[in-house]
Amino acid sequence: MTISQADGADVPGAPQHRLEVDRLSKTFGPARVLRDIQLTVAPGELHGMVGQNGCGKSTLVKILTGVYTPDPGGSIVVDGRRLRTPVQPMEQREVGVSVVHQNLGLVDDHTVWENVRLGRYQARGPFRKINGRAERDSVAAVLARLGRAIDVNAPAGTLGAEDRATIAIARAMQDHRPGGGLIIFDESTRALGKAARGRFFELVRSLIDGGTSVLLISHQLEEIVEATDRVTVLRDGQVVETGIPTKDTDEAGLTRLMLGRHLVTHSRVNSHAREGIAASVRGLSAGQVRGLDLSVKRGEIVGLTGLMGSGFEEVAEALGGARRAESGELTVGAATLSLSARRASTEHFVRAGVGYVPERRLDEGLAAELTMAENMTLPRVRSMGSPLRTGGAWQAEEARAMIAKLDIKPPRPDAPVSTLSGGNQQKVVLAKWLAGKPNLLVLREPTQAVDVGARHDIIDAIREAAKDGCGVLIASIDAADLAVLCDRVLVFRNGAVTGELSGELNQDDIIHATFGSPREEERWAG
């Protein structure tokens, strides 16, 4: 543990790290969201960081930028200098740690130089006037270092994605002494197209070659594998692997590390699929998916998977009634729903017996301040109750049955959802739809960020729904889930189904089908 200031920084040739995070933990109330995080980034290194939603990546970034105070005991050392916690913005700037956020943090109707210099304006003279020329010159100099000619007077909103990314990078690195500093890219490549992304990485490469370090946080495993030198994997708030050389791994390997080997491995059970169609989709176009046809038998469990952004997520969202597709219709039971209606209302989906378990449970699935029972019964409160009375008996019965079926803890229907653990919240989202005996259940990442016991209960409940004749669609990157649950799995790539696996599934086959096919050459072409 290099702690003293003198170490490293002043001793030439001493082994030193640009960033050294040691035993960093963060607790929110009863929940420990980060546990003993260990991470080192070398000077001039492009270090990747991956993990599922809720694994603690963004919490770590927020600690590094001073938004959150870490638990006592951990340390953050930059170039041998131990930072005080919570991290002070001025100190953070001094040591040269900066973050480029997901949306780049640009104000569209302000000019390039105003955006870059935001928070750093130098006021001069008796009227404290901003010296526009000096500001513009300094911005132009930074942009020149990045090797890009952008009009510093142009409003940021008029620029293309690439230039915008460049501005955000310019802002991040303007205080760095050449060859120093650390830039954290927090999902900042999301908004970039393929070609722009290629040039973005050229730019990042040139920073790295100059000695700056980069921590790249991304969901896009392919860019992590293509671009980074080493990679750190987080899972459930812990470091699973830190600093493994990227050349020793691949996307499939990283996925395995992100998801982990689940302790409870269900054996596959016989399929519950039977005669009769639970739901059929015709001509679905959403995002990059074009003209997808799909039918799910009663009792059948169909998996949808692929790389992130390959289109399987959009299919689930459209079929769950969460997003409007460009075209397509869904037939469930006797009802035929347009997937592209301008005034499409999720109400029609609910009435037709479609249940949708979204990916982000607290944003889309549950109202945290209301109770477990209220959340569970919401979709049916109008159809089961009379206009004058929600009716207590059926709600109590549903809550009781679902608490028993999914083993929800604590078994108190009147507990506010915010007081439940993540796994139990996920059970409540599932219960909300299972209690209505759906015809079609659409699930996104149903076991994401839940503990082992909860995963067990959730898998059992999904199977039971299928046994009762419900058609189930599971959109997930979790090959282990898909392998134990699904009767068949559709693998998406670039918006099309490129593979279908059925029969005896195992997770390696699914991972292989997802990542294994030949690489396109044009990926980083630019």
Partner 1 sequence: MTDAARQEQRVTPPVAPAGTPRLAVDVRHIASRYAVIGVWAIMVLIYSLAEPGIFFTHSTFTSIFTGQYALVFMTMALLCTIIIGEFVDLSVPAVFGFAATIWPVLVTNHHWGTVPAVLVAIVAAVACGAVNGLLVVVLGVNTIVVTLGMGTLLTGLALWISSLNTVVLQPTGFEKIGTFTVGGLYISFYYGIALVLVFAYVLAYTPLGRHMRFVGASREVSRLSGVRVNRIRFGSYVMAGLISGVGAVITVATLGSYNAESSNSYLLPVFAAVFLGTAIIQPGRFNPIGTWIGVYFLYTGILGLEDLGLQQWVSDVFYGGALVVAVTISTLLRRRTT
Residues near partner 1 (CB under 8 A): 263-267, 320-322, 345-347, 349-351, 356, 358, 363-370, 374, 378-379, 381-382, 385, 387-390, 407, 409-412, 415-416, 418, 432, 452-454, 456-457, 483-484, 504, 506-508
| 391 phi-psi bin (left φ>0, alpha ψ -120 to 50, beta other) | left
Task: Tell me how far apart the terminal alpha carbons of the chain are, to the nearest angstrom.
Answer: 42
Q: Are 379 and 357 in contact (CB under 8 A)?
A: no
Q: What is the DSSP string of 344-384?
A: --HHHHHHHTEEEE-SSIIIII--TTSBHHHHHHGGGHHHH
Q: How far is the CB of 384 from partner 1 (least distance, A)?
A: 9
Residue 73 to residue 36: CA distance in whole angstroms: 9
Long-range contacts of 312-315 (CB under 8 A, 24+ apart): 312/475, 312/490, 312/492, 313/359, 313/444, 313/475, 314/286, 314/287, 314/288, 314/289, 315/284, 315/286, 315/289, 315/475, 315/492
User: Least distance (Å) from partner 1 to the CB of residue 360?
Assistant: 9
User: Nearest CA to 456 among 512, 405, 515?
Assistant: 405
Q: Which residue's CB is nearer to partner 1, number 347 or number 522?
A: 347
Least distance to partner 1 from the beta carbon of 378, Å?
5
Residue 76 C-beta: closest distance to partner 1, Å: 28
Nearest-approach distance from CB 147 to partner 1, in angstroms: 42
C-alpha 330/C-alpha 66 separation (Å) is 48
Work out how close the CB of 425 gets to partner 1 at its nearest, in angstroms, rounded to a whole number: 12
Q: Residue 476 Cβ, how far from partner 1 at the closest point, in Å?
A: 17
112/479 with CB nearer partner 1: 479
CB 337 within 8 A of CB 299: no
Q: How far apart (Å, rounded) are the C-alpha atoms in residues 70 and 96?
A: 20
Q: How far is the CB of 113 from partner 1 (least distance, A)?
A: 30
Nearer to partner 1, 172 or 357 (CB): 357
Residues 356 and 376: their CA atoms lie apart, in Å, by 13
Among 462, 494, 465, CA closest to 478: 462
Residue 413, both tokens: 């229907």
| Cβ–Cβ < 8 Å for 437, 468 | yes
DSSP 397-408: HHHHHHHHHHT-
Nearer to partner 1, 363 or 521 (CB): 363
Q: How far is the CB of 504 from partner 1 (least distance, A)?
A: 7
**Closest approach of Cβ 381 to partner 1, in Å?**
5
Nearer CB in complex with partner 1: 33/450: 450
Measuring CA to CA, which residue among 414, 388, 408, 419 is closest to residue 454? 408
Tokens 């519950």 found at: 272
| CA angle (227, 188, 305) in 5-degree steps | 75
The dihedral over CA atoms of 286, 292, 293, 298, expressed in degrees to the nearest 10, equals -60
Residue 14 beta carbon to partner 1: minimum distance, rounded to whole angstroms: 45
> For partner 1, which is the closer residue by CB, 214 or 366?
366
Beta strand 327-332 pairing with 335-338: antiparallel
Q: Based on CB atoms, which residue is closest to partner 1, 199 or 351?
A: 351
Report how far residue 400's alpha carbon sits from residue 373's, in angstroms, rounded to the nearest whole number: 9
Q: How far apart are CA 303 and CA 318, in angstroms?
A: 15
Q: How far is the CB of 422 from partner 1 (least distance, A)?
A: 14
Contact 472, 444 (CB under 8 A): no
Helix (H, G, I), strand (E, B) or coil at 12: coil
| Number of neighbours of residue 40 by Cβ within 10 angstroms | 18
Minimum CB distance to partner 1, residue 450 (Å)? 11
Residue type, 274: R
